[in-house]
Structure 1
Amino acid sequence: MLTRLLLATALVAAPALAEARNIVVSNDDGLTSNVVALYKALKAEGHDVIVSIPCTGQSGMGGAVKFMRPLGPLSQDCHNGAAKKGAPGVGPIDREGIPAQDFNYVDGTPVMAVLYGIDVLAQKRWAKAPDLVLSGPNEGQNVGQIIVSSGTVNVVQYASARGIPAVALSAGVGTTDNTGLANPQSATVAALSAELVDALDAGAAGRSLLPAGISLNVNFPDDLAKDSWKLTRVGTYNAYDVHFTEDMSQSPVARAMGAGGQSLPGVVIDLNKAAPTPAQARDESIVVRDAITVSVMQPGYGAQDKHTTGIARKLINRLSGKK
């Protein structure tokens, strides 16, 4: 499986222009320089692209969905002028220079945004599901076990569970531009992401862009000159230390973000200063320092390998009174 995925991703060069694909782009940051650049890069390659993103930043919302709650008029402006207070709960983005026919917002979580793209917008335009869902590029890497709470990654989990090929894309925080939506680093990440789509198409040979039940978590290093592609795993080494504290003022990161000014409890994210073990050398949190990482994921939480299912089978036999 790893060999096939190696050939089907940007770990190999795509020799020719990819087939035009129907692509839904979503994220958890809302309207950003990164998503605008990705849209432009994909359109330049001939792909038909629908962008469906949250109205406001939704980092850390994971797979959250506001079930059975109608989305009424906006109670506040969307991020970076995507829509104004009082606008409908979903609709085309209303910012000058952004093509409203392709860019849409949802007053909800990242998963709600991608579902709007898949269930409503894609059906109206293509009368079918998209060929590919791309989530991101996120403003900040999603590496290690923090991906469990990542909206960027859970967008991909939902799409993959629907049987749609999906890839999570994450870059460094230096790709942010909340003024002109035109960070040069965003354009570089977008070009590399389009190269990834080309390579997926080259490996697909007319079939689905990824095998059923397989999705990818792709992370770009802070230094985009380090543009070699490496096959990695999510692994056990975590670049970030996520923990609950009774005093957020003790967290350097919380203080830097303006959230640690008072001695109040909360969940903080700090940098992990512990050195990796030799066994963690291929974990994406380590490799992303010097290369673009591509890690394989499966949708949801179901384990399919023989070892884990064998353990479960023995458990059921014990519970059933069998030896």
Structure 2
Amino acid sequence: MKQTLAFVGTLIALTLCPAVADARNIVITNDDGLTSNVVALYKALKAEGHDVIVSVPCDNQSGMGAAIKIGQPLAPLRKACRAGAAPVGAPGAGAMARPGIPAADFHYVDGTPVMAMLYGVDVLGQQRWGKVPDLVLSGPNEGQNVGAAILGSGTVSAAQMAAVKGLSAIALSAGMRTVDDNALANPDSAKVAALSAELVARLDRLSGGGRILPEGLALNVNFPDVLEGAKWQASRIGTYQAYDIRFVADMARDPSPMMKAMTGQYGKDLPHLPGLSFGMNSAEPAPGQKEDESVVYRHAIAVSPMQAGYEPKALDGYVHWLVDRFDAGK
């Protein structure tokens, strides 16, 4: 890529000044299902006056990427959805049934993340607005999506597919500690939601009432585990690998430290079977990788531009667009 993103040497702190956004039509989707993060984001956006539809998978679909099921009708549920979103026997897609969740706005799909996004845009959005939404927000995910891992991310893929359809789309990812299936009220979820709503407000104000993002551009936003004092920084997806994902012949014999911790957490041993091992990359980034989102997200809120789809395009124009709008002096 020519010039390898021109702003790499001058990261810009994103100072989000208070801004009141116009009311927008927004679809929230994700790859995790009904989560504390989704509920908090919905509440934050509704408080800003936006009209919001939530359309998420019935169950956790992390790692499904851009998978879709073409020509396969969705049968009634054979198992209940995550966090009580829908019971066994409910339709394959529909309004959520969990008490306290507004069924008119919250919907599930027994399918992949991209399918859930499409249901929100093609069916629910058309029914309510008679047109496509102004913005698709995918997430906030339970766990960051940075570097090459985004290729398999359902969170990022849902945003990418929305961008390919010509919509403004942002992928949002937070830390793993935002999980709360019982009360759906993790305190960190509320913090991430407030920051996400601020981002939407600033982008909307800068748009002058037009498109929130230029056509062909999507954003990948990653929040650090420690949110207090975190600044916004423009970043690039880059080449540094935050995660160490590899196929092993024996998961019990060659587990990563993270896999060991997960087995203790869930109270079961790893089997002596082949599979994917998952862990964190302990190697230090090379000098040219210091501005990669896989590095930036450790201490700041990383905002990276993404090209929609695979058509070759120069990203430099998008990078300049991003830096211009998030220059701390503006």
Which residue does 1:71 correspond to in 2?
A: 74
| Cα distance in structure 2, aligned partners of 1:226 and 1:280 | 23
- Partner letter of residue 234 of structure 2? L
| 1:29 Cα deviation after fit | 0.4
Q: Deviations over 1:286-308 (max 9, x none)?
A: 1111110000001122221399x
C-alpha RMSD of the superposition: 1.9
| 1:14 Cα deviation after fit | 4.2
Which residue does 1:176 correspond to in 2?
A: 179
| 1:2 Cα deviation after fit | 7.8
SS at match of 1:124: helix
Identify if the C-alpha distance between structure 1 residues 260 and 200 changes in structure 2 by more than 3 Å, giving closer, same or farther. farther
Greater RCO (CA < 8 Å, at least 6 residues apart) = 2
| 1:27 Cα deviation after fit | 0.2
Query: Structure 2 matches for 1:180-195, cutoff 5 A?
Result: 180-195=183-198
Is 1:56 the counterpart of 2:65 in the alignment?
no
Give the TM-score normalised by structure 2: 0.88
SS at match of 1:16: coil
| Residue of 272, 279, 285 corresponding to 1:276 | 285
Which residue does 1:248 correspond to in 2?
A: 251
Which residue does 2:97 correspond to in 1?
A: 94
- Maintained 8 Å contact 1:10/1:200: no
- Percent of aligned positions that are identical: 59
Identify if the C-alpha distance between structure 1 residues 78 and 10 changes in structure 2 by more than 3 Å, giving closer, same or farther. farther
- Maintained 8 Å contact 2:174/2:225: yes
Is 1:305 the counterpart of 2:310 in the alignment?
no
Which residue does 2:208 correspond to in 1?
A: 205
- Partner letter of residue 120 of structure 2? G
Is 1:141 the counterpart of 2:144 in the alignment?
yes
| Cα distance in structure 1, aligned partners of 2:13 and 2:52 | 20
Structure 2 residues not aligned, in runs of 5+: 317-330
| 1:15 Cα deviation after fit | 4.4
| Cα distance in structure 2, aligned partners of 1:276 and 1:121 | 44
Q: Deviations over 1:232-273 (max 9, x none)?
A: 001101110111111112223223333762221111211101
Q: Number of matched residues?
A: 303
| Residue of 78, 81, 86 corresponding to 2:84 | 81
Which residue does 2:326 correspond to in 1?
A: none
Structure 1 residues not aligned, in runs of 5+: 308-323
Identify if the C-alpha distance between structure 1 residues 168 and 306 changes in structure 2 by more than 3 Å, giving closer, same or farther. closer
Which residue does 1:314 correspond to in 2?
A: none
Which residue does 2:328 correspond to in 1?
A: none
| Cα distance in structure 2, aligned partners of 1:306 and 1:81 | 42
- Partner letter of residue 158 of structure 2? V
- Maintained 8 Å contact 1:10/1:195: no
| Cα distance in structure 2, aligned partners of 1:306 and 1:154 | 19
Identify if the C-alpha distance between structure 1 residues 195 and 306 changes in structure 2 by more than 3 Å, giving closer, same or farther. closer
| Cα distance in structure 2, aligned partners of 1:212 and 1:226 | 32
Provide runs of 4+ in structure 1 moved above 3 Å.
none
